[in-house]
Structure 1
Amino acid sequence: MDDDDPGRRVAAQVAAGGGLDGLHRLSETIEALEERRTDLVEELRRGRQATWEEIGRACGMTRQGATRRWAGRLRARSFGLAATAYQHGRPGYPQALIGSAVPREARRVLDLGAGTGKLTGMLVEAGLDVVAVEPDPQMRDRLAAAVPKAAVRAGSAERIPLPDAGVDAVVVAQAWHWFDQATAVPEIARVLAPGGTLALIWNVRDETEPWAAELGALMHRSDRQRLDTAPELPAPFGAPERLEIRWEHPTTPAGVLDMVASRSYVIALPEADRARLLADVEQLLATHPDLAGRDEIAVPYVTRCTRVRLG
């Protein structure tokens, strides 16, 4: 061992005595250090203090490696910066979804990556015992205020703060694409009771409506986010059941602007580009023949759900 290497010295101190206890302490320390490293990367990127190449060098990896490791995670963590816009602008879900996403026999349900509680509230209203897990503290504060009957906890899909076999069903709304699925799949299986279900849910704007297609073209002119809304899940989950529900979300022009502003790729834009995009959306809402002069706008959506059973 190189006694001049501070990392090795710290590791030796943490794992002193060895054995399972030493391994446990070392594993917890590694997780804490990795979380702190991610925080530092986020601070550097948000303040434009370092390039991905410089961050990669500091972490002993290439620019591509650093980007692959953290870029997606930082976008996932960006929602707290726009928690108010998210709460006001994002749609809820059609009522018919609940009976399809959660089996009738389920009683205790985990809403994983719960955001500000758009789905959590509907689950509580359906009479379910709901635990809502959300990593972002600002989103979590909104969630706790909006759905006081839910048990709100800090955590992530990769580290769920629940015991083994603790819930009958897990629902993931608008969040599956942010998870490290290699870690999340076994962790979700761990907290599910035998025979429990996992439901993955997305709201997708229906761009067969011409004005919605124009809105989508504006929103994605600099970044087209392509989501797999019909994913295949590995063992220990079984064959998927698929569901689509077409519906409309009533909102206002201000609500549409908040929906746009709450997208992760919009939050990440430089301020001038973000302001220009929102101005262009406002112009569309004010001038499109199907929208001009309206105080209420019906945004067309398709809600897609994939449900799988454990085992």
Structure 2
Amino acid sequence: MNSSISDPQRREHAASFGAAAQAYRRGRPTYPRTAVQWVVPASARTVLDLGAGTGKFTELLVGAGLEVVAVEPSAGMREQLSDAVPAAAVHDGTAEAIPLPDASVDAVVMAQAWHWVNPETAVPEVARVLRPGGTLGLVWNIRDSAEPWVAELDELLQHHSRQDVDTAPALGAPFSEAERAEFRWVHTLTRAALLDMVASRSYVIVLSGPERAELLGNVAELLDSHPDLAGHDEINLPYVTRCTRAVRK
């Protein structure tokens, strides 16, 4: 996930989300429907949303008319997920230990989550639950720092923890060579939701109280002072959604 943090830190960050599940649900963006259409084949009927979080991608899968199973290791996140997407079957589990039978789903999707897993264990486990010819789709929303104020926001966040997420991971056998796609779009959110987005980052959750307060204060100052943001309660935040898909042989 990040060359600048150790494996114990990575595990701490991954386990931190339950403490900020409500902020995560309020502040994190949805995903463009074009990304859903690209990562999930039209022939799929049953889809596993793995590492489903609070259900941001899950609700799009349900909205597309799919039968959806959602697996999420955090109890706090599962609670938000069950409330937000009651049509999905929600289970405790991880990418390394999926609580589903062999060859039980047509597609597996991980949105904003693959960088938390151990690929050596997760790849064969995902392949186990996929039917032959099934698809694994990986999705990441990345803030578009070509927008100057977004670059300033990223600079504030990276002062506390630089994250270099690999959004084009190699998968290997038994999957085909991965395909990639990008989708540019704009997420409109309130000032309060943007602060929730920042507060729900794993590296912000694990900061000390004073450090977290300082960071959120700096972000609030950016929102109050930048000419593109000052006086606006509604903010347009540009994203690039990066997608990977591969077929189980």
Output the TM-score relative to the length of structure 2.
0.97
Question: Partner amino acid for 2:239?
Answer: Y
Distance in 2 (alpha carbons) for counterparts of 1:68 and 1:303? 26
Counterpart residue number, 1:163: 101
Unaligned residue ranges in structure 2 (runs of 5+): none
Deviation beyond 4 Å, 4+ runs, structure 1: none
| 1:99 Cα offset (Å) | 1.0
| 1:180 Cα offset (Å) | 1.0
| Local SS of the residue matching 1:246 | strand
| 1:256 Cα offset (Å) | 0.8
Distance in 1 (alpha carbons) for counterparts of 2:80 and 2:94? 17
Distance in 2 (alpha carbons) for counterparts of 1:89 and 1:162? 30
Counterpart residue number, 2:193: 255
Distance in 2 (alpha carbons) for counterparts of 1:222 and 1:194? 43
Distance in 2 (alpha carbons) for counterparts of 1:173 and 1:263? 15
Counterpart residue number, 1:90: 28
| 1:231 Cα offset (Å) | 1.1
1:178 to 104, 113, 116: 116
1:141 to 68, 73, 79: 79
For residues 1-311 of structure 1, the aligned pairs below 5 Å read 68-311=6-249
Change (3 A) 1:68 1:205: closer
Q: Which has the higher contact order (CA 8 A, sep 6+)?
A: 2
Question: Partner amino acid for 2:248?
Answer: L
| Local SS of the residue matching 1:247 | strand
Question: Partner amino acid for 1:117?
Answer: G
Unaligned residue ranges in structure 1 (runs of 5+): 1-66
| Local SS of the residue matching 1:303 | strand
Question: Partner amino acid for 2:70?
Answer: A
| Local SS of the residue matching 1:214 | helix
Flag the structure with higher strand content: 2
Distance in 2 (alpha carbons) for counterparts of 1:98 and 1:115? 16
CA RMSD of aligned residues (A): 0.9
Distance in 2 (alpha carbons) for counterparts of 1:208 and 1:193? 40
| 1:95 Cα offset (Å) | 1.3
Distance in 2 (alpha carbons) for counterparts of 1:222 and 1:251? 24
Distance in 2 (alpha carbons) for counterparts of 1:275 and 1:264? 15
Distance in 1 (alpha carbons) for counterparts of 2:7 and 2:161? 19
| Local SS of the residue matching 1:244 | strand
Flag the structure with higher helix content: 1
| 1:232 Cα offset (Å) | 1.3
Aligned residues: 245
Aligned residues with identical type, % of pairs: 61
